[in-house]
A and B are shown apart, each in its own frame.
Chain A
Amino acid sequence: NAGVTQTPKFQVLKTGQSMTLQCAQDMNHNSMYWYRQDPGMGLRLIYYSASEGTTDKGEVPNGYNVSRLNKREFSLRLESAAPSQTSVYFCASMPSRETQYFGPGTRLLVL
């Protein structure tokens, strides 16, 4: 039981490049979430998926898209990366009301 896994762990992009951050969970959780973590700002919700086949915007969705590929996987895509998207990205999943389990994070640097 690996819990929540994320790939890659670290990525450097140039402005305008695209990439997809991958997240998978093996706990059969219905809900999955993408957050970004920036110094002094805590974690902010980008997108979430309450169940397979549904996605909704969070607090800071601009510049991102998501895909809930199946119950296990929830990917985050940056179509045209910008320096403002330099951050640490966390994926989380939730089995029932309110206790979320987090992945180890992806550190992204956009030059």
Chain B
Amino acid sequence: GDSVTQMEGPVTLSEEAFLTINCTYTATGYPSLFWYVQYPGEGLQLLLKATKADDKGSNKGFEATYRKETTSFHLEKGSVQVSDSAVYFCASAGGTSYGKLTFGQGTILTVHP
């Protein structure tokens, strides 16, 4: 079945540092890929997505590129802020599991002033 693997956390950074959270996937077919963010005490919010190879999703300074050759969708941000502290989930959908999201285990990000 489909699966998503994220780098283990937690990740702790100073404000304005560069962020990378790795994500790789396995799927039959060509899934769409997502990053969701969960702020403390809240539900998940879609951060960005990409639906085909070489697409780049971007939002709020975050970016991720769909790399079919490496089956990856790494999340990056050039300069993090304290307000970016949250849990980040990589997810896939489609392929053989139309409409159903498969999530990675989540990465806790803490940004210090």
Q: How large is the interface on B (under 10, 10 to 19, 20 to 34, 35 or more residues)?
A: 20 to 34
A109: Cβ under 8 A from any B Cβ? no
For the complex, give the distance between the alpha carbons of A33 and B104 in Å.
Answer: 17
Query: B106 touching A42 by the CB < 8 A rule?
Result: yes
* Closest beta carbon of chain A to B66's beta carbon, Å: 13
For the complex, give the distance between the alpha carbons of A58 and B105 in Å.
Answer: 17
Which residues of A sit under 8 angstroms from B49, Cβ to Cβ? 98-99
Which residues of B sit under 8 angstroms from A90, Cβ to Cβ? 43-44
Which residues of A sit under 8 angstroms from B42, Cβ to Cβ? 104-105
Query: B89 touching A42 by the CB < 8 A rule?
Result: yes
B83: Cβ under 8 A from any A Cβ? no
Contacting residue for A45 out of B44, B101, B104, CB 8 A = B101
Q: With A42-B89, A45-B100 in contact, is A98–B43 under 8 Å at CB?
A: no
A35-54 residues with Cβ-Cβ distance < 8 A to B are 40-45, 48, 50
Q: A50-B99, A97-B94 are in contact. List 13 more A-B contacts (CB 8 A).
A: A33-B100, A33-B101, A40-B105, A40-B106, A42-B4, A42-B106, A44-B103, A45-B101, A48-B99, A97-B32, A98-B101, A100-B101, A104-B42
